[in-house]
Structure 1
Amino acid sequence: MAGRWMDLGMFNAQGMSGADALGLAIEQMVTGIASPVDSERGLAARLNYLTKTDAGYAAMDRAGVHVSPRTLMAWLAEERTPNKANLARLDAAYWDLRRRNVAVDLKHRLNNQGRGTRVEINPVDQSRVAAPHRRDLSSRSVSVRGVWDRAVDAWIDDDVQELDAVWDEIIQDLGSDYDSYTNVSSIGWAA
């Protein structure tokens, strides 16, 4: 991790690590069922999605949904409703499977046939920092190539260290000013 700003809030600057911003930006690309899990429609859609493939059953297992086949069939037939804990587990399983299913597409879109994706990096918010301690920072834009597969894999695995390593590679292209973008207020791209 790069980092002269190891204590980001020391002078009241606000932001997050670049690794966190990268993970958040990837997460925001994932869409899915809008209906809440505790609604009839939301539950039915999640159960349908999760029970179509072996990967769905694996996601339910990872999320801790351990019920008999009879109970699962009763949920699918809408004869019974899962308790609150199982509703939360089903929602977690749905989003876990959704993330895994869209990962390939995310890699394809972000790699953009080898051209990469242009990323806008917004520096930390220094509006609450006293003038003598402010740094002269502006939004930067950089084309990112060759790291998207690693970034998406790290995001799926919740591997913050790997996301941090990928972020360090991204900001190296900012020249001598790269260390000022270890922490950011946000990042964004159109992919």
Structure 2
Amino acid sequence: MARTGGRWRDLGTFRARGVPGWEALAEGIDRMVTGIESPVGSERGLAARLRYLTASDAGYEAMDRAGVHVRPRTLIAWLAEEQTPSKANLARLDAAYWDLRRRNVAADLKRRLDNRGRGTRIEIDPVDQTAVERRHQRDLETRNINVRGVVWDRVVDAWIAHDTQGLEAIWDDIIQSSLGTDWDAYTHVSSIGWAA
């Protein structure tokens, strides 16, 4: 595996497959956020999203962040099911809904992941090397580590802000402090799993 400066320079040089560890971490948190299952394009899905978004000032702020800029009478017509939003506004409403859901569950996620100071054990699956010639393979194994403390607060805050640089720095801190000299082999992973 070609590396430079302790990092994987080009993950696919020898056909290894994986994603940056910080990205797998963010995707894992995404999977913890539940919400309306009906698609935004369905009558039920749209109505539920609109009710959720218009129930608080935070919902209106989420719509503004997502680019939903319509007149009050248009929003009222959507709520009354007299008018259907354009495809672009449906996508924006869906984005606003999930943004608000993420923000509303952030405190709960922090508590769950911190687990009263005990932290959360995560399993890190290394990059998939099945397509890599044997002579270029590295001896990597699945690693289990327990992440504790304010790290989870930082992870969730960076996740909400879509701060990829922050998430990458936090991931590097996690693996450097937990995996010793082998940490750089886990900057990219196949997946991360946990029971939180």
Answer whether TM exceeds 0.5 for this pair: yes
Against the structure 1 CA distance between its residues 141 and 113, is the aligned structure 2 distance closer, same or farther, given a 3 Å change threshold? same
Is 1:163 paired with 2:175? no
**Partner secondary structure for residue 105 of structure 1:** helix
Deviation at 1:104, TM superposition (A): 0.8
Q: Could you tell me which amino acid in structure 2 is paired with residue 164 of structure 1?
A: E
**Partner secondary structure for residue 7 of structure 2:** coil
- Structure 1: how far apart are the matches of 2:109 and 2:191? 19
- Structure 1: how far apart are the matches of 2:195 and 2:138? 28
Deviation at 1:4, TM superposition (A): 3.1
- Structure 2: how far apart are the matches of 1:61 and 1:36? 21
- Structure 2: how far apart are the matches of 1:162 and 1:28? 20
Name the structure 2 match of 1:179: 184
Structure 1 unaligned segments of length 5 or more: list them: none
Name the structure 2 match of 1:131: 134
Is 1:33 paired with 2:36? yes
Name the structure 2 match of 1:151: 155
- Structure 1: how far apart are the matches of 2:68 and 2:6? 41
- Structure 1: how far apart are the matches of 2:77 and 2:7? 57
Structure 2 unaligned segments of length 5 or more: list them: none
What is the aligned-residue identity percentage? 72
Deviation at 1:111, TM superposition (A): 0.6
**63-72 vs 121-130, which moves further:** 63-72
Deviation at 1:3, TM superposition (A): 3.9
**Partner secondary structure for residue 36 of structure 1:** coil
Name the structure 2 match of 1:190: 195
- Structure 2: how far apart are the matches of 1:90 and 1:31? 16
- Structure 1: how far apart are the matches of 2:90 and 2:112? 32
Question: Residue by residue, what CA displacement relative to the aligned partner does 1:125-163 show, whole Å, maximum 9, x if unpaired?
Answer: 000000000011110000001200000111111111111
- Structure 2: how far apart are the matches of 1:40 and 1:4? 48
Q: Could you tell me which amino acid in structure 1 is paired with residue 139 of structure 2?
A: D
Question: After TM superposition, where is structure 1 displaced by more than 3 Å over at least 4 residues in a row?
Answer: none
- Structure 2: how far apart are the matches of 1:163 and 1:4? 16
- Structure 1: how far apart are the matches of 2:79 and 2:23? 37
Q: 2:52 aligns with which of 49, 57, 64?
A: 49
Name the structure 2 match of 1:69: 72
- Structure 2: how far apart are the matches of 1:18 and 1:189? 14
- Structure 1: how far apart are the matches of 2:87 and 2:16? 40
Q: Could you tell me which amino acid in structure 2 is paired with residue 10 of structure 1?
A: T
Deviation at 1:122, TM superposition (A): 0.2
Name the structure 2 match of 1:103: 106
Name the structure 2 match of 1:83: 86
- Structure 2: how far apart are the matches of 1:154 and 1:181? 20
Q: Could you tell me which amino acid in structure 2 is paired with residue 156 of structure 1?
A: I
Q: Could you tell me which amino acid in structure 1 is paired with residue 189 of structure 2?
A: V
Name the structure 2 match of 1:19: 22
Deviation at 1:110, TM superposition (A): 0.3
Deviation at 1:67, TM superposition (A): 1.1
